[in-house]
Amino acid sequence: MDKSVMPKVFSSHHHWYSATLDSLKTVSSTTKSDKDKTSVPEVIYTYENAMHGFSVALSSKDLQTLQKMPGFVSLYPDRSVEVDTTHTTSFLSLNSVAGLWPASNYGSDVIIGVIDSGVWPESNSYKDDGMGEIPKRWKGKCEPGEEFDASMCNRKLIGARYFNKGLIAETPDLIISMNSARDTDGHGTHTSSTAAGNYVEGVSFFGYANGTARGVAPRARIAVYKVLWDEGSFASDVIAGMDQAIADGVDVISISMGFGRYTPFYEDPIAIASFAAMEKATLTLGNGLVIAGWSLYPIDQLLRAVPLVYNETLTACNSSDLLSKFAERAIVICKDVQKSYNWELYYSTQDYSVGQSTVSGAIYVLNEPHSLYQELDYFHYPGVIINSTDRAKVINYAKSTTEPKVTIKFQQTFVGGEPAPFVAKYSSRGPSRIHPGILKPDLIAPGTKVLAAWVPNKLTSIIGRDTQLSSNYNMIQGASMACPHASGVAALLKGAHPEWSPAAIRSAMMTTANPLDNTNKTIKDNDGLVPATPLDIGSGHINPNRALNPGLIYDVGTQDYGDLLCSMNLTHEQFLTITRTSSYNCSNPSSDLNYPSFIALFNKTSTVQEFTKTATNVGSGASTYRANIIQPNGTRVTVTPKKLLSFTVRIKDRKQRAGYFVSGSFTWIDGEGKHRGRSPIVVMDA
């Protein structure tokens, strides 16, 4: 559900969801002899942290009605869970002499939430010998149930909950054999003790592997969330467990399960609950207005009902003395940055001044509604960035009352922002410096604030002046982050089409890439805030699902690459260095590689260039393709013949361009409109 459209009359998301279902009054009959009766579907779970939504048992008719209601986003059926396996500490090369264990004090006071089949609390791995007091931030509990009471938790096993409402909804008459957090399968006990079990000496498997057993983080705390049952396991219960783990305050979620290889990301509860496109903070004004801003302040901090200060004499947050004078222990609204100003310098200057002052935090304003600030790498002090659209709302509120207040909640993640994607400032631009005759880049892929595993003994963030933080995961950016996205898609395509060559895979990825963002406009270039060109994005943003079935591919063989190298006036040594053999025949050198993009380079004497290409039909059955051409300004592009498979593209340039370039495209479209193979065109001076 889209929680942002929840009417203010509702006190909570649960109230809203329940009221939504109350309107779905339907008539149902359980047996032929029963009288018709009115039934209201009941909420099974409501989700607030892992996602915004709820699980419910509905009829097909009610389902159709629900889809038309305000706030509805998407739905998918509950599905069964498939269990995966874990690994051992020896494989990770953990030791007490150097590395992660001593650097992290063996995970002291880290809370690991294990989403699995429960726990066997009597195991020696859950003894709390050597464990200090439970962290005060812990909000969870030890939930009693069958053969399980609250006394079974301790300073090691600090929480235990269980979730099976989804399972019961699937089979209402089901009798749960162990209706508690107690593990009857063994999988949950194995995974949780592997993650953070305490030291147990003299352990062996019937004499094998004798020694001391301990978890990866033996001094960490364990909280278990039982969602896997002997009678079955369903996604709705898994989401409920993850949702509760987040609410309870776990630091790490360990979840060794999945939902099948064919489950798309938008229907995978684990992917939905874990995925982060960008980090934000929520800013709530005293009048109830909620604004989503941007922040990477790395502490789970809540600044609640703090005084809000907007002082027009405070022209910028670049003086710690003035900040302390006008906004002591308050949130200050800083002056917005001008279009021509260096944003990174502006932010770092004000962030430093805020840190040296006595203010509680700051609200920074970017004068353009775009995502340049998302490339910032740090927030040393509590702060949030808002756009110029929201600026007036905040300032108007600050002026409207004698005691304005604001609440800022950090460490929240939202997805689905617009516009996206955009080309980052650091992204490599074309044309190719090595061989301008081939249009580069090929395409673009995600590379900004990508979350992935990290070495835990290396600096990842700084709080205040000198408090350094480390993390097992980090969010960084660069072309190096975009590359593995493209590599992964290529690997998937190779698995689906093992007969395809590397060139065919590249072709499929390029001709199906999307030049438009999620607002259906041309992707923007963050370096100048102008529409991106093929020299910025190539064919566009990678689209994995479309690349699976491109319809047409442009293949390239080894001799074709050899012909290209032959045309580049390389020395024999240079040629041999690349090819590692002299067997290539250079009798027919050609720079016209069978590439799925075009760049025409003209000098003062040339006015026409021709490209000969061959496209191969890899679709199902015979198809007829016709060309759709978008002419670059001031040029004439013709394709002969108008139908495939071998064809010639002729580009005639009508004028000299004095260094600037124009772009267009042509697209092969099959007769049924199922396949569209798009190729960008760039025309520029040589």
With the C-alpha atoms ordered 477, 479, 483, 485, is the resulting torsion angle positive or negative? positive
Give the residue-averaged pLDDT of 38-65: 80
* pLDDT over 80 at 39, yes or no: no
| Range of 26-40, 343-357, 476-490 with top mean pLDDT | 343-357
* pLDDT for the residue numbered 378: 65
- What is the C-alpha separation between 93 and 103, in angstroms, rounded? 14
Contacts of 647 (CB under 8 A, 6+ apart): 612, 613, 615, 627, 639, 640, 641
Contacts of 625 (CB under 8 A, 6+ apart): 551, 552, 615, 643, 644, 668, 669, 670, 671, 675, 677
- What is the C-alpha separation between 84 and 80, in angstroms, rounded? 13
* pLDDT over 90 at 157, yes or no: yes
- Tell me whether residue 498 is in a domain: no
The residue with tokens 């907007």 is 310
End-to-end CA separation in angstroms for the chain: 53
Q: What is the CATH number of the domain that holds 597?
A: 2.60.40.2310
* pLDDT for the residue numbered 155: 92
- Tell me whether residue 596 is in a domain: yes
* pLDDT for the residue numbered 161: 95
Provide the token pair at 656: 């000299």
* pLDDT for the residue numbered 652: 87
Tell me how many domains the chain contains: 4
Is the CB of residue 43 less than 8 Å from the CB of residue 22? no
For residue 222, how many C-alpha atoms fall within 13 Å in the half-sphere facing its CB?
35
Of 414, 429, 446, the domain-final residue: 414
Q: Which residues pair with 153 in a beta bridge?
A: none
* pLDDT over 80 at 395, yes or no: yes
- What is the C-alpha separation between 249 and 233, in angstroms, rounded? 24
- Long-range contacts made by residues 493-499, C-beta under 8 angstroms, separation at least 24? 493/547, 493/548, 496/548, 497/618
Of 414, 439, 459, the domain-final residue: 414
With the C-alpha atoms ordered 450, 454, 456, 460, is the resulting torsion angle positive or negative? negative
Residues 125-148 have pLDDT tens digits of 888 888 888 888 888 999 999 999
- Tell me whether residue 155 is in a domain: yes
Residues 195-222 have pLDDT tens digits of 678 877 765 433 333 456 666 677 888 8
Confidence band for 263, pLDDT divided at 50, 70 and 90? low
Is the CB of residue 660 less than 8 Å from the CB of residue 684? yes
Residues 67-89 have pLDDT tens digits of 888 888 777 788 777 654 332 33
* pLDDT for the residue numbered 144: 94
> So which residues are the catalytic ones?
116, 187, 480
DSSP type of residue 230: T
Provide the token pair at 346: 């502006």
Give the residue-averaged pLDDT of 554-581: 80
* pLDDT for the residue numbered 153: 93
Contacts of 201 (CB under 8 A, 6+ apart): 212
Cβ burial 526-562 (10 Å sphere, 16+ → b, else e)? bbeeeebbbbbbbbbbbbbebbeebbbbbbbeeebeb
Confidence band for 40, pLDDT divided at 50, 70 and 90? low
* pLDDT for the residue numbered 211: 57
- In terms of pLDDT, which residue wins out, 312 or 569? 569
Q: Which residues pair with 453 in a beta bridge?
A: 473
Q: How many residues does the chain have?
A: 686
- Tell me whether residue 663 is in a domain: yes
Residue 110 sits in the same domain as residue 231: yes
- Tell me whether residue 639 is in a domain: yes
Show the domain range for 304: 278-414
- Long-range contacts made by residues 499-504, C-beta under 8 angstroms, separation at least 24? 500/553, 500/618, 501/555, 501/556, 501/557, 503/553, 503/554, 503/555, 503/556, 503/557, 503/594, 504/553, 504/554, 504/555, 504/616, 504/618
Residue 266 sits in the same domain as residue 305: no
The residue with tokens 């600030």 is 373
Residue 651 sits in the same domain as residue 593: yes
Q: How far is CA 177 from CA 38, 166, 216, in A?
A: 33, 16, 31
Give the residue-averaged pLDDT of 9-31: 72
Residues 277-298 have pLDDT tens digits of 222 375 566 667 777 777 777 6
* pLDDT for the residue numbered 208: 33
